[in-house]
Amino acid sequence: MALANGSLIVARRTESNPPFISSFIGDQISIKLPAQLRPPHLKRKNNRGVRINVTEAVHSAEPFNAVKKVEKEFSSTEKKEGLQAKYWSLNSWRNKVALQQPNYPDLERLAEVEKTLADMPPLVFAGEARSLEEKLADAALGKAFLLQGGDCAESFKEFNAVNIRDTFRVLLQMGAVLMFGGQMPVVKVGRMAGQFAKPRSEDTEMVNGTELPSYRGDIINADLPTLEARVPDPTLMVRAYDQAAATLNLLRAFATGGFAAMQRVTQWNLDFAANSEQGDKYRELAHRVDEALGFMAACGLTPEHPVMTTTEFYTSHECLLLPYEQAFTRIDSTTGQWYDCSAHMLWIGERTRQLDGAHIEFLRGVANPLGVKVSDKMKPEDLVTLCETLNPDNKPGRLTVIVRMGAAKLREKLPALVRAVRQAGCMVTWVSDPMHGNTIKAPGSGTKTRPFDAILEEVKAFFDVHEQEGTHAGGVHLEMTGQDVTECVGGGINLSYEDLSSRYHTHCDPRLNASQALELSFIIAERLRKRRLDGATDSFLHNLAAQISNVC
């Protein structure tokens, strides 16, 4: 785990440990600098190394201060062409172009906040991130399915235990539906406890006839229609951290305290979905699960068994605000690798995935499982390069490709991407984001919305392409909430454009409500069931053919 007392022990050299850091002995680091990197006062003929004292034991919850000191020693001399491109450091992203970053007017205050955050305890542990990576590897191989969902953007105003509970509850219900249909583990990852920042197309926006700086999420500025509220404030990062910590505390309690027990999940009924078609389907499924639980209890696996009372739940958010992410990037004492301890999983957005950009530079050095959003603009060769950059060891579970195109463009563009990645031998987990490619403006009002039918069509197209290409549809990534909102039109509850204004609460993009999310999970579960049965049939026919061949 990430919180181990004592001095740092590095078991092996990693990408985050440049080759000039040769060993750790007691409270000293042995450094071997290449001749061209040695400052004049450190140049020696024998190059036996330089000893630099570590002022304190390096705790895994603290930034790697020792390495920072070493970097300071040689950074002024490491200017030769090609040297900086080879090595990664915690600050190397600052030498790249960083898009979608706020223009803080008070840089001294920003530096103070970054230092404050760097001294804060981590939000997650490295061991948890490694556990998630293993499960995502199963999803890449078709042995598990990723369910990733939550708010478009978390807000300070709507932060309360009820909202967290309801979203967590719907994700558990969806997970139960998918698990039953696919007969495979469902990896549950929330867009929670850190999804505060949002990229924007323009630096300014018109609000009530006045041009104002764009609202970029509560971690950066406020959404109030005043110039003062829109000025980026670095202290909001501290408030976001506090809220993320409180959210995680509640999620951990829900996941392990009995709230997620399977028998409870099957008994839940969201009031506003109770009289709908998906509510009836869920009750039918719950009855079948209850029968299965009764059978397992008869076999000795009682409801009190930890397997039946707990669940594993992970958090994720877009890696967008780089000063915040750097502050929570810590060295893991068990592996010597860097982990961004603000979330278990991070993804990089469509607007910030430039190969020579700051976001790619930052993420290539952290060991968390990563996601990358991919639209129809992505070229196959660029995706392969991106895979090789972010996952040079080609480790299953390390990289998730999150496809967001719209159904028509997905059928046209995704096959070439899948083939290119497969031919290059890159291991990725393919996931569908059916939300972002289907945003429209409602006729008349101009309100942003997403038609449920379009979302569903993209999910179907995603499964179709992977079936045709012989690859695995590994999961879905949804913007959704446990609240009874009216932001996406259609679905079994048949929300109309006129209904949008009744409970339209999003701070950014429209979300599926609980009823729509549950309906979508049943449709996906049926597709997983079909894939499972088709696979079983193929396996049976293959074995039968082999037996006939042996007889002949």
Per-residue pLDDT tens over the stretch 1-22: 333 333 332 333 333 444 333 3
Q: Which residue in 297, 461, 447, 450 sits closest to 376, CA to CA? A: 461
Sign of the alpha-carbon torsion through 65, 347, 522, 466: negative
Q: Is 283 annotated as a binding residue?
A: no
Q: Percent of the chain scored above 90 by pLDDT?
A: 68
State CA 332 to chain mean position distance: 20
Give the largest CA-CA distance in the chain.
83
Distance CA 383, CA 394 (A): 14
Between 133 and 76, the more confident residue is 133
Q: Is 552 annotated as a binding residue?
A: no
**Weakest-pLDDT range from 14-28, 116-130, 175-189, 533-547:** 14-28
Is the pLDDT at 482 greater than 60? The verdict is yes
Helices (H) and strands (E) in the chain, counts: 16, 18
Q: Is 152 annotated as a binding residue?
A: yes
What pLDDT sits at residue 509?
93
Question: Domain extents for the chain?
Answer: 1-79, 126-260+310-540
Tens digit of each residue's pLDDT (9 = 90 or more) over 89-105: 999 999 999 999 999 99
What pLDDT sits at residue 373?
98
Q: Is 359 annotated as a binding residue?
A: no
Q: Is 398 annotated as a binding residue?
A: no
Strand ranges, E, within 423-527: 429-432, 440-441, 448-451, 475-479, 488-489
What pLDDT sits at residue 278?
63
Which residues sit opposite 51 in a β-bridge? 30
Give the model's confidence band at 280: pLDDT under 50 very low, under 70 low, under 90 confident, else very high.
confident
What pLDDT sits at residue 217?
97
Q: Are strands 210-213 and 204-207 parallel, antiparallel or unpaired?
A: antiparallel
Strand order in the sheet with 50-53: 21-25, 28-31, 50-53
Tens digit of each residue's pLDDT (9 = 90 or more) over 514-550: 999 999 999 999 999 999 988 765 655 555 555 555 5
Give the model's confidence band at 273: pLDDT under 50 very low, under 70 low, under 90 confident, else very high.
low
Distance CA 516, CA 151 (A): 14
**Weakest-pLDDT range from 5-14, 79-88, 235-244, 445-454:** 5-14
Burial group, residue 195, by CB count within 10 angstroms (0-12, 13-18, 19+): buried
Q: Which residue in 99, 114, 126, 124 sits closest to 197, CA to CA? A: 99
Q: Is 350 annotated as a binding residue?
A: yes
**Weakest-pLDDT range from 147-161, 506-520, 535-549:** 535-549
Q: What is the mean pLDDT of residues 436-447?
A: 94
Question: At which residue do the structure tokens 């990576």 appear?
Answer: 133
Is the pLDDT at 435 greater than 50? The verdict is yes
Q: What is the mean pLDDT of residues 402-423?
A: 98
Q: Is 126-260+310-540 a CATH 3.30.70.240 domain?
A: no
* Average pLDDT value for the chain: 84
Q: Are strands 329-331 and 338-340 parallel, antiparallel or unpaired?
A: antiparallel
Q: What is the mean pLDDT of residues 159-184?
A: 94
Q: Is 44 annotated as a binding residue?
A: no
For helices 452-469 and 407-423, the axis angle rounded to 10 degrees is 30
Give the model's confidence band at 36: pLDDT under 50 very low, under 70 low, under 90 confident, else very high.
very low
Is the pLDDT at 176 greater than 50? The verdict is yes
Q: Is 165 annotated as a binding residue?
A: no
Tens digit of each residue's pLDDT (9 = 90 or more) over 455-477: 999 999 999 999 999 999 999 99
What pLDDT sits at residue 17?
41
What pLDDT sits at residue 547?
54
Q: Is 373 annotated as a binding residue?
A: yes
